[in-house]
Structure 1
Amino acid sequence: MNTDYAALPYRVAILTWSPTNKVSRWPMKEYRLTGWPELAPPFHRTAYRRILSDMSHRFVTLPQLADTSGLRRQDVRSFVEMLDARGLLIERESVVTESLFGSLGPLGGWLRRAISSPPQSR
């Protein structure tokens, strides 16, 4: 986080740009569960249990949790904040690229292999 801008609120991610890679990156937090909590009645839904299950297996981001659970991001954020207040989470920073095409790498490799293989092996 850039501390030269004291007027900006805490937790504001400032976009950084490097002329060598020309890709914008911003930090995103990933969370992992350290212990299984007892949930209060508002959190007895399957979606919250799915969040706990995902977080117990690997580090996940808030958008990933919102996608897999079907909950709104605000609901996921408040649930994660509740878990963090109980000391049940490990946080780490993850650098996410802005490019959509960075996620298409496996598809490009498959296409290259499919096109370059001889017809007999297809």
Structure 2
Amino acid sequence: MGTVYQINKGLNRPISFKGLKAQYIAYLSAGLVVLLLGFTVGYILGLPLVVLLPATGLLGGGLFVGVNFLSKRFGRYGLMKYLASRRVPVYLWFNSRKLFTQLKIGEGYGKK
């Protein structure tokens, strides 16, 4: 009898692979492609393998550690929110949504 694989673990759940969530899988794969291309270019240019292999291994290890760190620290959307919050101008910062949740409809739009 064949092995049965379970598909569709749940609706609206992010894709996860070995602890990586959502877009971090794409970041890791893009980084690995860049490492492969860098190794290839270095090999074609004639750099010795004694230099290329350890350098690629260290950069690959750093890539894995870095992407896992980002995935665990920020989660599914946290990195995008963090980067977006850093781009908000100082004069728009506020500590609470209370100002916006207590607005009456039509208030502030010239209606009396």
TM-score, structure 2 normalization? 0.25
- Between structures 1 and 2, the one with greater helix share: 2
- Between structures 1 and 2, the one with greater strand share: 1
TM-score, structure 1 normalization? 0.24
